[in-house]
């Protein structure tokens, strides 16, 4: 009989081994398929903006959702100054639980998993919104998320040329070094303006917690797709407002994006399209060669739910730890009796 108090746990080391065993690009493609499948049933999910605790140093958030059968949540922080003390800007863990019993069925690290699901979501969205045949991507911000974005766009969209820029030259060197064996043509650029020249897809993925103008209006020509993922909390943006006014804007969950995304710069009634509507065919995404499409991505709980579902399906003997984390009294009403079992 299955021991019901045992919960599978995937550690950071185990997550790394799962990713490398599957292969980074195959995993990104598979995870994107899980995310797309959940976006196709978007309407059945419980949805709410994440619960956020903001401070002058950063933010700590809880991101919950449920499809009625399973419940998932992620704990995640965002502290841009952490890198000064050798810490990650973003760390996370998540739980998947059975709605019928309330028992957790998976506990997992989600620092790596968030990077993977963010990249998979970006490329999945671009597959529906970017110009047909696009293969040149500018990436402004070459930090912890950059390689995942590049590999997801290669695996899912066919991007083979990267134009890289970061105010931190060492970050660009790191990104170039890490991607050296993946077949990209890599062009290191001296400015953001240079990076976007000739690019068909522009990804902005910076970390500063402030209103910023990574892209100015004159830098963005017609026909491009913008993947804006750095602006993800109140007071943090990357694009000049005029770019938004020229773009068709696609979002995950408007109620959250209007608080945290680029569109916090716009009036509350400015029209946006929910990405799930494009994926299900309810509305069209890219409609003309000159159209500017903008995926204003802040990350949403359904994507974490999809990622946790994917990892649960990858569990095999030896790639996770079994945690004794739930009480198992001999009878459900005798919790105190269970305590006494530990007497010497």
Which of the residues are catalytic?
232
**Cα 117 to Cα 109: distance, rounded to the nearest angstrom:** 13
Indicate the SS3 state at residue 157: helix
> Phi/psi class of residue 60: alpha, beta or left (left: φ > 0; alpha: ψ in -120 to 50)?
beta
DSSP state of 138: E
Hey, which residues does 321 pair with through a beta bridge?
Answer: 9
Q: Residues 28, 156: contact at Cβ < 8 Å?
A: yes
Are the C-beta atoms of residues 75 and 50 closer than 8 Å to each other? no
- Strands of the sheet containing 59-66, edge to edge, are 51-54, 59-66, 70-78, 92-98, 104-109, 6-10, 321-324
Q: Which of 261, 142, 237 lies closest to 195 in space, CA to CA?
A: 142
Are β-strands 248-251 and 273-274 bridged in parallel, bridged antiparallel, or unpaired? parallel
How many helices (H) does the chain have, and how many strands (E)?
11, 17
Instruction: Report residue 80 CA to chain centroid gap.
Output: 17
């Amino acid at each position: 009989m299955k021991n019901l108090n045992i919960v599978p746990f995937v550690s950071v080391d185990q997550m790394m081994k799962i990713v490398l065993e599957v292969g980074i690009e195959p995993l990104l493609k598979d995870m994107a398929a899980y995310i797309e499948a959940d976006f196709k049933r978007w309407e059945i999910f419980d949805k709410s903006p994440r619960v956020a605790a903001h401070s002058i140093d950063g933010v700590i958030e809880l991101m919950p959702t449920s499809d009625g059968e399973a419940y998932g949540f992620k704990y995640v922080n965002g502290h841009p100054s952490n890198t000064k003390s050798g810490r990650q800007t973003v760390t996370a863990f998540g739980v998947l639980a059975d709605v019928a019993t309330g028992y957790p069925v998976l506990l997992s690290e989600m620092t790596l998993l968030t990077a993977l699901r963010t990249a998979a979501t970006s490329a999945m969205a671009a597959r529906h919104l970017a110009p047909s045949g696009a293969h040149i991507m500018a990436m402004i911000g070459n930090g912890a998320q950059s390689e995942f974005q590049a590999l997801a766009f290669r695996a899912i969209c066919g991007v083979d040329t990267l134009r890289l820029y970061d105010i931190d030259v060492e970050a660009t060197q790191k990104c170039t070094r890490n991607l050296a064996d993946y077949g990209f043509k890599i062009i290191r650029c001296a400015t953001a303006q240079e990076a976007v020249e000739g690019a068909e897809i522009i990804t902005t993925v910076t970390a500063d917690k402030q209103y910023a103008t990574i892209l100015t209006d004159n830098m963005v020509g017609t026909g491009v797709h913008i993947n804006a993922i750095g602006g993800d909390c109140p007071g943090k943006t990357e694009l000049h407002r005029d770019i938004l006014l020229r773009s068709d804007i696609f979002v995950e969950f408007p109620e959250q994006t209007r608080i945290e995304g680029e569109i916090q710069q716009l009036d509350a009634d400015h029209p946006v399209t929910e990405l799930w509507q494009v994926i299900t065919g309810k509305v069209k995404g890219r409609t003309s060669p000159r159209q500017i499409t903008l995926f204003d991505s802040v990350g949403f709980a359904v994507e974490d739910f999809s990622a946790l579902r994917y990892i649960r399906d990858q569990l095999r003997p030896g790639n996770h730890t079994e945690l004794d984390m739930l009480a198992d009294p001999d009878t459900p009403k005798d919790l105190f009796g269970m305590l006494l079992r530990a007497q010497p």
